[in-house]
Amino acid sequence: MRDEFSTPITQDEKKESLIHLYVDGGLKRRDVVRQLAKLLGGTGAAMAALQSAGLGQVVQQACPDNIKVSESDPAIQWQNVTYQNDGVAIKALLARPANQTDPQPAVIVIHENRGLVEHIRDVTRRAAKAGFVALGIDLISREGGADAITDDVQRGAAYGRTTESNRYNDMYCAVEYLQKQPFVVWDRIGTVGFCAGGGNILFGVYNKMPLQAAVTFYGTPPPNPLPGDVTTPMLCIYSETDRNQAVRIGDLANSLVNSRVTFGIQVFKGTGHGFHNDTGAAYNPKAACEAWAKTIDFFNTHLRAPRT
């Protein structure tokens, strides 16, 4: 079976890839209609494909005030950084509280399948404004990085050329990079990821990545059978109409129960895949704000808990 985010080959795979890119904010509506029409043979077929995906009539919802965190926000400081892995410079955004005086827990932010785009940079800044050292990493750095590729379709293609092993290693090295920073509490590192990023995190925690907390938004679990030996506390967030993910939630829950690890699984009613992304077609402001608040609460609980 084709990997979820590898290069699409068949017409159905290309159709799903374009729709997914639209949901994640990589294509505007007029652009996805145009490309689907070219692929499927007409505008009618394009609209039918969107309708089938629950995107026939989309009213773009406004992002609530003060959700976005700009580069000039006085509450944070940030810089573009790189860390080395396998002789490759992995690009990242490092953001942290502006007036930080003591080491703080850290959060690694993992993008969808388009690299470190502006939306993920914004999410990284949000984590910093919440009081964490935040590192948004670019898992297409081996393909040049998101900043070197101007087209989101090509960014997705670049992600499809990466390997699960390399992505795991690049994430693991991000943990090691943070552990060396004097402004980070070295053994209080968590991660949050979206879509493909959520899947990468799930693969990571099932393969012993040294994390103290993990939050995944609509991430695909690794293939069955899932072992029952996860040690990282997890919060797994899903959307009601995301049928591809829903079929795996039960297996994931059973595995985490068998692991006897602290975890939560929440399905947000009335939402679709990508509901947290305020640049995409499925954005749901109410659910996104609630899910982000739960994410920060989860990190505060597990990364700031008093030591026993």
Q: Where are the domains of the chain?
A: 11-52, 76-303
- DSSP at 6: S
Class of domain 76-303 as given by CATH: alpha beta
Two tokens, residue 115: 């690299």
Which tens digit of pLDDT belongs to each residue from 226-244? 777 899 999 999 999 887 7
Which tens digit of pLDDT belongs to each residue from 111-145? 999 999 999 999 999 999 999 999 999 999 999 99
φ, ψ for residue 134, nearest 5 deg: -120, 135
DSSP 128-187: HHTTSEEEEE-TTGGGT-GGG---HHHHHHHHHTS-HHHHHHHHHHHHHHHHT-TTEEEE
Which tens digit of pLDDT belongs to each residue from 170-224? 999 999 999 999 999 999 999 999 999 999 999 999 999 999 999 999 998 877 7
What element of type H or E holds 302?
A: helix 285-303
C-alpha distances in angstroms, 95 versus 58, 67, 99, 102, 116? 33, 16, 12, 15, 14
Residue 77, strand partner residues: 96
Does pLDDT of 245 surpass 90?
no
